[in-house]
Amino acid sequence: MPEKITAVVSPTGSLNRLSQYEVARLRDANDGGLNELFRRCCLAVLNCGREQDDPLALLEDYRDFEVRILQRDRGVALELVNAPAEAFVGDKMILGVREHLYAVLRDVLYVSGAPGVAGDLDLGTSEGITNFVFHLLRNAGAFVPRRSDVVVCWGGHSINRVEYEYTKEVGYHLGLHRLDICTGCGAGAMKGPMKGAAVGHLKQRVGRGRYIGLTEPGIIASESPNPVVNELIILPDIEKRLEAFVRLGHAFVVFPGGVGTAEEILFLLAVLMHPDNAGLPFPLIFTGPAGSEAYFEQIDRFITTTLGEAARRHYRIVVGDPPAVAALAAEGVAEVHEYRRAHSDAFYFNWSLRVEFDLQQPFDPSHENMAALDLRLDQPRHRLAYHLRRAFSGIVAGNVKAQGIERVRERGPFLLRGEKRLLDELDRLLESFVRDGRMRLPGKQYHPCYRLEAA
């Protein structure tokens, strides 16, 4: 059994006062209450020292973990019972973990629907959802007008050592360009760029580099925030998390990864290939170390075979050249700033980008919904990207999200039904992920949570 500790933690960061209503919601263990959601998210951030991608195993190991809310004169405190010992040095919690813990408190409360949070926003419209994402980011302090040079880095949590060291090297050169880093906040390609950028920032005497981690309750337990993250933000679902990335970022760098990375790429292409976004500067670079050529050839083949040659104009592939990647990202950020200045758009939030309402809708990866996806080549390419993104999202859920894992255990693999030529390409890509160990952390055998059937 893992080592555990019980301690009382004082507030830090962005929230140290709670109303009686908020405390009651956090303590409410009934359906609709926040107790279990809050408990699971707290456990995830406290689990920063353990590499794992099975949220059910984490919950089982810490089934006796509790979080108790203590109201004190100087603000709220948290009593943690049977918490992971890795989050402490002696009996003192690591400061970065403590910041993450209170970020959980802040975001779970804000997203939970407390009176006045969404105001008059109509979440039944695309504009209302985008404004809601803006409110979530603003509440978390993500908008720093004088520091609006954010590079989003995507890639897998299950990567080899050579790939990980490459992500650090790219991050280092991004830091030398004084660019800040935003990732999914987990391990692997989400941690490496932050570690590298921290060294680059130190050399450039950047006072406080920004290492922004965007996550959501469904994934946080399998991708616990890495300790470099100094701005943790928890969005309510994967769709709002993805929109937060594209609204907050100024350039995007994608490293090798598995189905989660493919989902992110497909979401981005569904946005960029929409006619309303034609001509909008959006730097996107795929990169990896020397030897990763075959990986990107497979990604490029899947994209161009399914979405057409026109999709290729939205990204560049650079292999084995970190300084070139950073230079391209810096040039792209400058181009984005020039465009927004010319169009009177905010530097810190991309209002100009059109994100379709369907892309913003939370996708429930049930067996019925997965089987109903429209996987045909004969449709507008941005619509096919939308359906493919949902297919990958369901596989991510079946691999690493507690609810998806439980559904697959109960009813077997998800069925994806579609046009044979498309499914052949999908099968080729997924098999390459399995072969290269990108579906699970190293050393774990992968059991597919999906099966393909030609219609």
The CATH code of the domain that includes 48 is 3.30.1850.10
Cα separation, 385 vs 266, in Å, equals 5
Cα separation, 218 vs 237, in Å, equals 7
Q: Could you count the other beta carbons within 10 Å of the beta carbon of residue 412? A: 11
Q: Are residues 96 and 161 in the same domain?
A: no
Amino acid 95 reads: L
Note the helical H segments in 273-342: 293-307, 322-342
Q: Could you count the other beta carbons within 10 Å of the beta carbon of residue 35? A: 16
* Ranges of the chain with pLDDT below 70: 1, 11-17, 31-32, 49-56, 72-75, 112-119, 146-147, 440-443
| 150 occurs within a structural domain | yes
Q: Are residues 275 and 356 in the same domain?
A: yes
In degrees, to the nearest 5, what angle opens at C-alpha 186 toward C-alphas 180 and 188?
Answer: 90
| 104 occurs within a structural domain | yes
**Contact criterion met (CB below 8 Å) for 284 and 314:** yes
Please state at what angle helix 161-176 crosses helix 192-203, rounded to 10 degrees.
30
Range of the domain at 43: 4-111
| 250 occurs within a structural domain | yes
Give residue 17's pLDDT. Answer: 65
Cα separation, 70 vs 16, in Å, equals 11
| 157 occurs within a structural domain | yes
Q: Detail the DSSP E strand segments found in 222-371.
A: 231-234, 251-254, 284-288, 316-319
Give residue 49's pLDDT. Answer: 61
**Contact criterion met (CB below 8 Å) for 95 and 12:** yes
Q: Are residues 78 and 212 in the same domain?
A: no
Give residue 2's pLDDT. Answer: 77
DSSP output for 41-75: HHHHHHTTT-----HHHHHHHTTT-EEEEEEETTE
| 247 occurs within a structural domain | yes
Q: What's the DSSP call for residue 361?
A: S
| 172 occurs within a structural domain | yes
Question: Can you give the CATH number for the domain in which 325 is found?
Answer: 3.40.50.450
Q: 53: closest CA among 402, 416, 413, 409?
A: 402
Give residue 115's pLDDT. Answer: 45
Cα separation, 356 vs 258, in Å, equals 25
Q: Could you count the other beta carbons within 10 Å of the beta carbon of residue 405? A: 19
What does the block give as tokens for 119? 């105001």
Give residue 416's pLDDT. Answer: 97
Cα separation, 74 vs 18, in Å, equals 11
What does the block give as tokens for 413? 């693999």
Cα separation, 224 vs 84, in Å, equals 13
Give residue 443's pLDDT. Answer: 57
Q: Are residues 247 and 146 in the same domain?
A: yes
What does the block give as tokens for 157? 């949590």
Mean pLDDT estimate for the chain: 90
Q: Are residues 286 and 215 in the same domain?
A: yes
Domain boundary among 92, 111, 130: 111
Q: Are residues 65 and 179 in the same domain?
A: no
Q: Are residues 100 and 144 in the same domain?
A: no
Strand partners, 76: 71
Q: What's the domain count of the chain? A: 2
Cα separation, 134 vs 395, in Å, equals 28
Q: 319: closest CA among 267, 249, 245, 253?
A: 253
Query: What residues contact 239, with CB distance under 8 A and at least 6 apart?
Result: 359, 360, 361, 362, 363
Cα separation, 234 vs 251, in Å, equals 21
Give the CA count within 13 Å in the CB-facing half-sphere of 57.
11
Q: Are residues 429 and 384 in the same domain?
A: yes
Burial class (CB in 10 A: 0-12, 13-18, 19+), 79: middle
Phi, psi of 378 (to 5 degrees): -85, 70
| 230 occurs within a structural domain | yes
Q: Are residues 350 and 227 in the same domain?
A: yes
Q: Are residues 236 and 91 in the same domain?
A: no
Cα separation, 118 vs 141, in Å, equals 17
Q: Are residues 236 and 194 in the same domain?
A: yes
Q: Are residues 147 and 210 in the same domain?
A: yes
Query: What residues contact 180, with CB distance under 8 A and at least 6 apart?
Result: 147, 149, 150, 151, 197, 209, 210, 211, 212
| 283 occurs within a structural domain | yes
The tens digit of pLDDT for each residue in 370-384 reads 999 999 999 999 999
Q: Could you count the other beta carbons within 10 Å of the beta carbon of residue 56? A: 15
In degrees, to the nearest 5, what angle opens at C-alpha 437 toward C-alphas 436 and 443?
Answer: 140
